[in-house]
Amino acid sequence: MASALINGLISNGYPSTEILVSDPNEDAKNSLSEQHHIQCMSDNKSAVRIADLIILAVKPQILKEVASELSKVIQIQKVVVSIAAGVSISALQNWFGKNIPIVRSMPNTPTMLGLGATGMYANRHVTAEKCSLVERIFNTVGYSCWLDSEKDIDSVTAVSGSSPAYFFFIFEIMQRVAEDFGLSPRAAKNLILRTAKGSVEMALNSDSEVSELRRQVTSPKGTTEQAIASLQSGNLDQLIHQAMKAALKRAQELSEEYGQ
Ligand SMILES: NC(=O)c1ccc[n+]([C@@H]2O[C@H](COP(=O)([O-])OP(=O)(O)OC[C@H]3O[C@@H](n4cnc5c(N)ncnc54)[C@H](OP(=O)(O)O)[C@@H]3O)[C@@H](O)[C@H]2O)c1
């Protein structure tokens, strides 16, 4: 995810000289440095001493260890942004042992193309100026929004954090069906992905709701109407509801697992 963020930032004009990465793994550090021409370090504490804004992008299960290590050098003038699923601000606050300005965020992988979507929640120590700094990062790599409550982060995990995979899964199924119809894998893939891209662009550029756009392409007694009726009789909306609720439940379980 850190790589996706760095890719998205650099390819969308964020100055590479303002990015510093810390990774204790020498190979990972060297490859990041070569790939993006950014400054890389292997000592988290030294990196944190230099940086104004710190993005924590390690796995949730090692965040306690990393935050406890950083507690020795972190200062309240900095702002910490965590992208870790399930780790609460109060857990981070406890590990840091200070009233650090902390933003909890949930980006997704299209961030690497500057097409990400991120939900963010800030604790009360984050000033308006620091909020702008964080927004600058996530707006460079796509869309971002502030959330009213920290628990909304779990919803964002189910809605946009995990959803690139939902779409890939649907494309995968459609591609297999298109191939069963006799289309070449190449044609099937391109027709489906280009249609998905075009549909998203249409929806983003239209004043109409997506339900209205759907109605507009569903003419009575036409082919689309048959497909939609079949999806409805198979209870697609219930299935999607169930899937997103399962992701939400898992995000909530992770929150309990990694500490409140
Ligand atoms: N993947 C997603 O779509 C997504 C979306 C939103 C949020 N997130 C969150 O993003 C975070 C990272 O997920 P990921 O999938 O990118 O995990 P990942 O691929 O394992 O990346 C974590 C990176 O942190 C490095 N690392 C390990 N220990 C470290 C330490 N002590 N100090 C500094 N760096 C260290 C790892 O190096 P090694 O490989 O050498 O261990 C690795 O490069 C997670 O908390 C996840 O919840 C992920």
Pocket test for ligand 1, best of 59, 81, 137 (most atoms within 8 A of CB): 59
For residue 244, being part of any structural domain is answered with yes
Phi and psi angles of residue 65, each rounded to the nearest 5 degrees, phi first: -60, -45
For residue 30, being part of any structural domain is answered with yes
Containing domain of residue 17, as a range? 2-147
- Between the CA of 84 and the centroid of ligand 1 the distance, in Å, is 8
21 in ligand 1 pocket by Cβ < 6 Å?
Answer: no
pLDDT profile of the chain (260 residues), mean per 10: 92 92 90 88 94 96 94 94 94 93 97 96 97 96 97 96 98 98 98 98 97 95 96 97 97 80
Ligand 1: atom nearest CA of 108 is 5
Residues 143 and 169 occupy one common structural domain = no
Q: What tokens does 127 get?
A: 């000033």
Query: CA-CA distance, 164 to 158, in Å (whole number)?
Result: 10
Task: State residue 258's pLDDT score.
Answer: 77
Residues 125 and 188 occupy one common structural domain = no
Nearest residue (by CA) to ligand 1, atom 28, is 58
Query: CA-CA distance, 222 to 39, in Å (whole number)?
Result: 58
Crossing angle for the helix pair 89-96 and 60-70, nearest 10 degrees? 30
160 in ligand 1 pocket by Cβ < 6 Å?
Answer: no
Residues 24 and 87 occupy one common structural domain = yes
Query: CA-CA distance, 259 to 61, in Å (whole number)?
Result: 10
Residues 79 and 26 occupy one common structural domain = yes
Query: CA-CA distance, 119 to 124, in Å (whole number)?
Result: 17
Specify the CATH number for the domain of residue 66.
Answer: 3.40.50.720
Q: Which residue type occupies 54?
A: I
57 in ligand 1 pocket by Cβ < 6 Å?
Answer: yes
Q: What tokens does 48 get?
A: 């944190």
149 by Cβ neighbours in 10 Å (0-12 / 13-18 / 19+) ranks as: exposed
CA–CA distance from 37 to each of 6, 23, 40, 161 (Å)?
A: 11, 15, 9, 28
Ligand 1: atom nearest CA of 86 is 47
Q: Can you name the residues that pair with 80 across neighbouring β-strands?
A: 54, 102
Residues 25 and 92 occupy one common structural domain = yes
Containing H/E element for 118?
strand 116-122
For residue 212, being part of any structural domain is answered with yes
Nearest residue (by CA) to ligand 1, atom 45, is 84
Q: How many domains does the chain have?
A: 2
247 in ligand 1 pocket by Cβ < 6 Å?
Answer: no
Residues 26 and 111 occupy one common structural domain = yes
For residue 195, being part of any structural domain is answered with yes
Contact 81, 137 (CB under 8 A): yes
Ligand 1: atom nearest CA of 164 is 3
What's the predicted TM-score (pTM) here? Answer: 0.92
Residues 37 and 71 occupy one common structural domain = yes
Taking the CA atoms of 174, 175, 180 and 183 in sequence, report the sign of the dihedral they define. positive
- Between the CA of 252 and the centroid of ligand 1 the distance, in Å, is 19
Task: State residue 254's pLDDT score.
Answer: 87
Residues 234 and 142 occupy one common structural domain = no
For residue 153, being part of any structural domain is answered with no
Task: State residue 246's pLDDT score.
Answer: 98
